[in-house]
Structure 1
Amino acid sequence: MTRAEEQVLLQELKSDYRHILINYFTTTDKTLKHYIDKFINAVFYANIPVPQVIEIHMELIDEFSKQLKLEGRSDEALLDYRITLIDILAHLCELYRCSISQ
C-alpha cells in the first residue's frame, strides 16, 4: 500500500470511528454493529496496529473535547467513551484470536 493509499484508508477509518463514537450510546439499531464490524475488518485486513486505533480514538475525543469547551460545556461525559474503545479492541482481539485458531 502506498503512503497516499494509507492516508486515505486512515481518513476513512477515522470517519467510520467518528460515526461509531457519535452513535455508540444513542442508537439501539443493528446499523451500529455493522459499522463496528466494518471498522474492525478494515483495521484487521489493513494490518493497522492497535496503538494506531488508540491514536484515532484519542484524536477524536480531543476534537470532541475542544468543541464542547468552545460551546461552554463540560467534557466530563467523554470519559464514558473509553467503553467504546474497550469494545472496539475486544472485537479486534476476538478477530485476531479466531484467525490464529484456524
Structure 2
Amino acid sequence: GYICCSVSAAERYVRLPTDELANLAWDQVRAAVSALAGATLHNSAVTRNPEATYLPKNGTTRPMQRTRRPRVAVAGSWTQTGWLDTMESAVRSGIAAAHALELERGVA
C-alpha cells in the first residue's frame, strides 16, 4: 500500500537527509497505526516545499471570525485559529465562522 505524510512548519526537518526523513515519518506512522507495527518500509519518496506554510511575523494580529458587522463573519487560514496558516486551519476557521453566525442568530 501507499502512505502519504505531510508536515507543516517543518523547519527542523527540511534539511534532514531524505532517507532519515522518510524513516522518521515511517516510525511515526507505525507508532500511530498499530496494524503497521511489524510492517517494513520498502520504498519512499520525499518532496520539500519549505514555503508551503505561511509564518506571520511575531506580533502580527490575525482577525477573529466574528466581526463588528451584523451577519458578517470571515473565514480563512489567515484568521485567528490557534493553528498555522494551513488547510486544516482554514477548515477550523470556517467552522468557527459558521458557529459565530449561529450564536448571533441564537441557533447554537
Q: Is TM-score (shorter-chain normalized) higher than 0.5?
A: no
Structure number with greater Rg is 2
Structure with the largest fraction of helix? 1
